[in-house]
Amino acid sequence: MKGIHRSTAEPDGFSQGQTTPANKIRAVLYSAIGIAIIVFLVGETINAIQVMTGKSIAKAVVASTFDDVVEWNDGNDAGVVTMASYKFTVNGHEYFGKTEVEQGSLSEGDQLTVKYNSNDPSKNRVIGDRGVLGRWFGFMLFGAFAAYLLIGTAINKFKSGEAGKDDSNG
């Protein structure tokens, strides 16, 4: 029948065949957030590479410790670990870092061996500490998924708005 049009409104307020200014703004906002997440992930990847590829070695001293309750991967069990802050000196400049160890295994004044990036000693880790990789993997897993959803949604919003423009008087 000519003259009868059906609206197929989507739950989020986007109507098929319509690209309103509000819809465009929403799509641009989704894209911007997705791109910001990607930029953050690239920065974290660069940081992880700089920390993990450090070849220079220094002796560090534990400056402070405290016990912290952490939840393990299964979400049910919790345990206590010791968080230790350490400091070391390179070319007369003092640098700091932190590590997580078994409860009670470190105390103030203990010595640690640290690997650091010779171009930027603030990028450092205790030898054997792989915590930076775990954090990086978590960021990549959840961040990439969020960016994919946000940017994918924005692209679909633009496409759905353009799809109905060719259907005149359909």
* pLDDT tens digits, one per residue of 99-134: 988 888 889 999 999 989 888 899 888 887 767 677
H-type helices in the chain, by residue range? 21-52, 131-163
Domains and CATH numbers, the chain: 54-138 (2.40.50)
CA separation for the pair 29, 154 (Å, rounded): 8
Q: What is the pLDDT of residue 4?
A: 52
Identity of the residue numbered 13 = G
Q: What is the pLDDT of residue 16?
A: 52
Residue reference for tokens 């633009």: 158
- pLDDT < 70: residue spans in the chain: 1-19, 72-78, 130, 132, 160-170
In what order do the strands lie in the sheet containing 93-102? 93-102, 78-90, 56-71, 111-117, 120-126
Q: What is the pLDDT of residue 95?
A: 96
CA separation for the pair 155, 160 (Å, rounded): 9
- Residue 83, class by beta-carbon neighbours within 10 Å (0-12 exposed, 13-18 middle, 19+ buried)? middle
Q: What is the pLDDT of residue 18?
A: 60
